[in-house]
Structure 1
């Protein structure tokens, strides 16, 4: 399978030389490892603020590719979908998966060896067992009251 995120032509290891705020739109998108965890519905404890990931996928999530089926116009269908940017990451990092490149770099950490920018292929995230590929349930198949029954440990 080819990489759905255009990574060709990017400066090697650009993320090590630039701040998140200095990334081009293509560089920003290339940071996405394609795990699909951000597209899973989450449960947040009102008292502790702790976030639990579920395997209950957004209605636009494609379980086979770990991609949004309508990424460019997703907010038309899912208005609550958060558009992560360097300006908004400080407000949203707490609910991003522990393995998320955006979160890791924002925290001053390095990318994992399976990240497509290091491995050269989008398949390594799946091979490493980090992605949600073939592990989800569509949100329209389970009531919100039952999401708790589908909590997953993070990281996978």
Structure 2
């Protein structure tokens, strides 16, 4: 007899982790080259799996992301999350990006609904797989830090 530990607790437990939508996103990362002289840059690494995402940004005079460059060395979930982040980050300010980062982390912990960011619901099959969460967060953590750095540099200069 199986123990309750093995029983699916939701529809997400029975959904395939790497489905077609996630794999399609993983193969479609925009801005996949680093910027030559970014105003802000951050690299984040998952100690759990070794995934790594580096994000470079330039911001406009109002502190909104105007250009993105990335180097993504991550699993399919980290790549898919990076694609979703990059496809929707242009025009957003550091505060908005930090809020998205925090909402994503809360959702992955089960402490909130799907964040208000286009496409993140695609990553729902990963919710019960907490070991995958750090990789999913990398791009959002990196762009929030890079945008804050760029904003601070542009305010000084």
Bin for the TM-score computed over the shorter chain: under 0.3
Say which one has the larger Rg: 2
- TM-score normalized by the length of structure 2: 0.25
Q: Which has the higher helix share?
A: 2
